[in-house]
Chain A
């Protein structure tokens, strides 16, 4: 008996170490298909959803001389099915496939614009229930149909899904994951997703033929899992900054009519704080950064120091204006995309309890948001004067 208890004691931690439940099923790696990306659209029939999965075809991915033969055709496959729910559609796809799905390597999910407007609730439900999914999956919004994005030409990568995953990884705009969305929505707050752009572009790599191309357009603002509006690139970048996701951003400012300078941010940070003033939450978003001047054309002022101050002043103005635009839009759409409510929850839990249930209203009407931009120019760069004045 004692030995049995001891054995149980030894075995129990193993389940937490090694994972249990579905992890106990054995599937050979070449009997599975790893879904790398999913594309969700509104179906043609009302109240249906069209799901497209994209999975790599390992035998077409060249890996040395393994598996024989030269790769021919695209190294990935896409399958599309429509049904009433995401689960149904996936099950229909599974029925056609010779291999079992695995969503553990799904890096990107793209939703179509119209589907997003109707709400991502079904998708979120599926995501939470499917055990193999990874919470770090990036979520994107396509300008039109998601399948349009699916057909993009991967120029630098092997598969479209890789392109999307890298866009998320690199924080080209904002790398929002399912985890972020679920956390925000659970507290009645909004979130911002990267809004892609899709179109045709002639590809040098493909003898100048026009090929589908996908880039980033800006952000899409969500509240209650519904797409409210989209923001163009500049305000989107400041949102990314405020979320501490932005990397390597470039701003070009002008002053004194002819003065012009480009500043490349080598370091940027954001700090958000809240205080209650007269029963209203006052948020302060402070964007701090250090930049290098990488282009400068002097204006009337030739004094470097005053030019530096002018650049900093203009830069901070521009940045502040960008974020203000974003915040104004978000307040108009009642989408707390920066999750300022969390800050309130943390600092003033009592107040938060009162406003929590209709936070989106309170965010739009009550919240005062102050923006401080504090960007310093560090390296001004030295320029040889060819014509001494």
Chain B
């Protein structure tokens, strides 16, 4: 008895020394059946009502009953007769200390060699709120939050099937974040699941906060400005992607999930597309493609055409443009660069500025870009129009990362267009196209279903066919199981 008590106090001392300097650790002393016990936990991250209702109160009540002996008590505790809450046992001080910082309450009993670990973690979290960045008019509004169990519950709420697999990883030497790979067995390609699995298992870093760190760790060489992962904060997006046979990655502590593999088409689609009639969705998609292209090429085309090939501008338009270009001190290229850079700066400032002063940016932006620059004769009106349309166009792309890639590529293309003319623009467009064609995301060609061509997937590419017509799952992310509906 003595020896085990020594072991016990030694274990307590070891745990204490490991947790020294952590002021938020609480040590609560209890006396159960005449034995000294210590309850160790970190107050801010545990559920107090569980601690008291399911652990402390039953133990004290039990201890107050005189008919049981101490040994009997330990026996019943070990068997699980006493407490309704699941626990594990450990005699490793390191394991115990880790469990405590991860949100367990630990009960050390003087006479026993092993400690009881109760996982009653409860982190502070916000309520599930509406999606802020991926807005839809119809359709579900809820968005992921930082808490992984809430997120998993949101997902399980959408897909209630045992084939929805959630594989858990722990990533980050210090942060020890839970990362889940979610997929539907039988729909997801086993190779993709395998690849993601390998990648996640191989990640070894100090910590991750945003999920983009994960994606950067997984990207096979950072060779492309185009996103090879799709970020989303919408559970319905993740669920729909899983049903298409894609794989999701969710991390504790971040409200966005990753979806792989991605294609250019999937990045240009919004979940809204599936919540409206297929006529309007198809039309909106076409508009989106047109403006997506414009956001990439419009300023460079404008500069190239006005400085190299004014012959292809309709005469009346030419008069208008040349009338407004009159007295502008800069070349069209310089003008475009100035405006585009100003616009980028305004956009960035608009994102970062604290909300109470947010108005300032829009006022300054509107006055500086819209009015003063033109009236002072520094930039011409058509250029303002071009830059504004481009600015709007870059926001029509539903995927923010893809919009960023377009914004970035716009500048080299603009410079090429301003120096080489239309040839420069076309060459740049060819290069971008070639790059996209050679890009792969987890084995899936980026331009699929356009190149390589998969006719049947066009039903959900440029247009969206009525869902009755989409009997087959997209072959782009194909696994063996392709039929959505058996009935005709």
From residue B350, how far is it (CB to closest CB) to chain A in Å?
Answer: 28
Are B326 and A24 in contact, CB atoms less than 8 angstroms apart?
Answer: no
Residues of the B chain whose Cβ atoms lie less than 8 Å from the Cβ of A134 = 311
What 1/0 mask marks residues of chain A from 272 to 309 whose CB sits below 8 Å from any chain B CB?
00000000000000000000000000000000000000
CB-contacts of B21-47 with A (<8 A): none
From residue B421, how far is it (CB to closest CB) to chain A in Å?
Answer: 6
Does B318 count as interface, using CB distance less than 8 angstroms? yes
Are A105 and B325 in contact, CB atoms less than 8 angstroms apart?
Answer: no
Are B381 and A64 in contact, CB atoms less than 8 angstroms apart?
Answer: yes
Does A68 count as interface, using CB distance less than 8 angstroms? yes
Are A29 and B311 in contact, CB atoms less than 8 angstroms apart?
Answer: no
Q: How far is the CA of A313 from the CA of B149 in the complex (A)?
A: 92
- Say which one of A8-16, A111-119, A210-218 lies at the interface with B: A8-16
Residues of the B chain whose Cβ atoms lie less than 8 Å from the Cβ of A132 = 311
Does A102 count as interface, using CB distance less than 8 angstroms? yes
What 1/0 mask marks residues of chain B from 421 to 464 whose CB sits below 8 Å from any chain A CB?
11101110010001000000000000000000000000000000
From residue A131, how far is it (CB to closest CB) to chain B in Å?
Answer: 10
Chain B interface helix/strand/loop/mixed: helix
Does A23 count as interface, using CB distance less than 8 angstroms? yes
Are B306 and A105 in contact, CB atoms less than 8 angstroms apart?
Answer: no
From residue A30, how far is it (CB to closest CB) to chain B in Å?
Answer: 4
Does B324 count as interface, using CB distance less than 8 angstroms? yes
**Of B310, B321, B327, B421, the contact of A18 (CB 8 Å cutoff):** B421
Does B320 count as interface, using CB distance less than 8 angstroms? yes
**Of A24, A56, A62, the contact of B423 (CB 8 Å cutoff):** A24
CB-contacts of B299-324 with A (<8 A): 306-311, 315, 318-324
From residue A177, how far is it (CB to closest CB) to chain B in Å?
Answer: 15
Does B420 count as interface, using CB distance less than 8 angstroms? yes
Are A27 and B319 in contact, CB atoms less than 8 angstroms apart?
Answer: no
Does B208 count as interface, using CB distance less than 8 angstroms? no
Does A32 count as interface, using CB distance less than 8 angstroms? yes
Closest to A11 in B: B427
Does A1 count as interface, using CB distance less than 8 angstroms? no
Are B427 and A67 in contact, CB atoms less than 8 angstroms apart?
Answer: no
Q: How far is the CA of A107 from the CA of B311 in the complex (A)?
A: 12
Residues of the B chain whose Cβ atoms lie less than 8 Å from the Cβ of A30 = 322, 325-328
Q: How far is the CA of A134 from the CA of B326 in the complex (A)?
A: 25
From residue A57, how far is it (CB to closest CB) to chain B in Å?
Answer: 9
Residues of the A chain whose Cβ atoms lie less than 8 Å from the Cβ of B310 = 29, 32, 34, 102, 104-105
Residues of the A chain whose Cβ atoms lie less than 8 Å from the Cβ of B196 = none
Are A18 and B323 in contact, CB atoms less than 8 angstroms apart?
Answer: no
From residue A23, how far is it (CB to closest CB) to chain B in Å?
Answer: 6
Are B331 and A18 in contact, CB atoms less than 8 angstroms apart?
Answer: no
**A-B pairs with CB below 8 Å: how many?**
105
Q: How far is the CA of A19 from the CA of B420 in the complex (A)?
A: 11
Does A385 count as interface, using CB distance less than 8 angstroms? no
From residue A196, how far is it (CB to closest CB) to chain B in Å?
Answer: 21
Q: How far is the CA of A23 from the CA of B332 in the complex (A)?
A: 17
Residues of the B chain whose Cβ atoms lie less than 8 Å from the Cβ of A17 = 422, 426
For chain A, the count of residues having a C-beta within 8 Å of the partner chain is 37
Residues of the A chain whose Cβ atoms lie less than 8 Å from the Cβ of B332 = 28-29
Q: A30-B328, A34-B310, A107-B315 are in contact. Are A10 and B423 (CB under 8 A)?
A: no
Closest to B306 in A: A29
Residues of the B chain whose Cβ atoms lie less than 8 Å from the Cβ of A25 = 308
Are A34 and B423 in contact, CB atoms less than 8 angstroms apart?
Answer: no
Q: A14-B426, A28-B332, A66-B380 are in contact. Are A104 and B311 (CB under 8 A)?
A: yes
**Of B306, B309, B377, the contact of A23 (CB 8 Å cutoff):** B309
Are A23 and B422 in contact, CB atoms less than 8 angstroms apart?
Answer: yes
Does A232 count as interface, using CB distance less than 8 angstroms? no
Does B419 count as interface, using CB distance less than 8 angstroms? yes
Residues of the A chain whose Cβ atoms lie less than 8 Å from the Cβ of B320 = 63
Q: How far is the CA of A17 from the CA of B312 in the complex (A)?
A: 13
Q: Can you offer 28 A-B residue contacts whose CB atoms are under 8 A?
A: A10-B434, A11-B427, A14-B423, A14-B426, A18-B423, A18-B425, A20-B423, A24-B423, A25-B308, A27-B308, A28-B325, A28-B332, A30-B322, A34-B310, A56-B319, A56-B322, A58-B322, A59-B323, A62-B323, A63-B319, A63-B381, A65-B375, A66-B381, A67-B327, A68-B327, A102-B311, A132-B311, A134-B311
Residues on B facing A (Cβ under 8 Å):
306-311, 315, 318-328, 331-332, 374-375, 377, 380-381, 418-423, 425-427, 430, 434
**What are the 3 A-B residue pairs with the smallest beta carbon separation, nearest first?**
A104-B311, A18-B422, A63-B323
